[in-house]
Amino acid sequence: MRLAFALLILCAAMALDAAASAAQSGPESPLRLTEFLAGPARDWDQSGSFSSRDDEWVEVKNTGDDALDLSGYLISDGDSLPRFAFTGTLGGQERRVVFGRDSYAWERASGHPAFGLSLGNTGDAVLLWRVVEAETLLVDSYAYGSHEAAGDRAVGRLNDNGPWQLFDGLNPYTGTTPPQGNQCEPTPGALNLCGTTRVEPVTWGRLKALYR
């Protein structure tokens, strides 16, 4: 079963257009990728120490108004292997942040090769899957390039449902390859606002409540 799942992911991942760096449409589901950070350069999970593996993160959001059963939803990168399986429920309009250390713990507990989220720094893809009966369906995805994975740069949907943008406020991007940076900081666990609107500081207590 694990091999069949991996092959399904591999086939779908090969269909991604990495050059376009755009989310692919999938089955109707309120769960969406909203932000991720592939190249951490600080202690994002607030564990007390920096880890290039543990401090990667992916944020998802229930864009619906009703609570969502997360059973069957999984995250992978572009290498065809499941990296994290969700459990429990997520309330309407709520988010969950998955750190690399959460992924590593799940991989070890479930018998998968344990590498964490394993988001490549030279370009990769973040994929959200849903297992429905005998099918493994691609729900949402984003393929990114190397400049989007540089230290402490995140990629996210502006206002959670707008276009994907590069949040480079902690490490400004001066190159010409799209997407250009928006000079705003990553916001794990909070609305992806940018511009004149002040972003509410994200505390460790708030983050814990969102992804645990």
CB 6 within 8 A of CB 81: yes
Q: Kindly tell me if the per-residue pLDDT of 49 is higher than 60.
A: yes
Q: Kindly tell me if the per-residue pLDDT of 212 is higher than 90.
A: no
Q: List, for residues 57-107, the tens digit of each pLDDT value.
A: 999 999 999 999 999 999 999 987 899 999 999 999 999 999 999 999 999
The whole-number pLDDT of residue 86 equals: 98
Burial class from Cβ neighbours inside 10 Å (0-12, 13-18, 19+) for residue 140 reads: buried
Highest mean pLDDT, choosing among 2-6, 23-27, 97-101? 97-101
Report residue 179 as tokens: 């997407």
Confidence of residue 28 (pLDDT cuts 50, 70, 90): confident
Residues ≥6 apart with Cβ < 8 Å to 51 = 40, 100, 101
The whole-number pLDDT of residue 22 equals: 36
Mean pLDDT of the chain: 85
The whole-number pLDDT of residue 163 equals: 96
| Cα–Cα distance for residue pair 14/30, rounded to 1 Å | 24
Q: Kindly tell me if the per-residue pLDDT of 129 is higher than 70.
A: yes
Q: Kindly tell me if the per-residue pLDDT of 206 is higher than 70.
A: no
The whole-number pLDDT of residue 189 equals: 97
| Cα–Cα distance for residue pair 139/126, rounded to 1 Å | 11
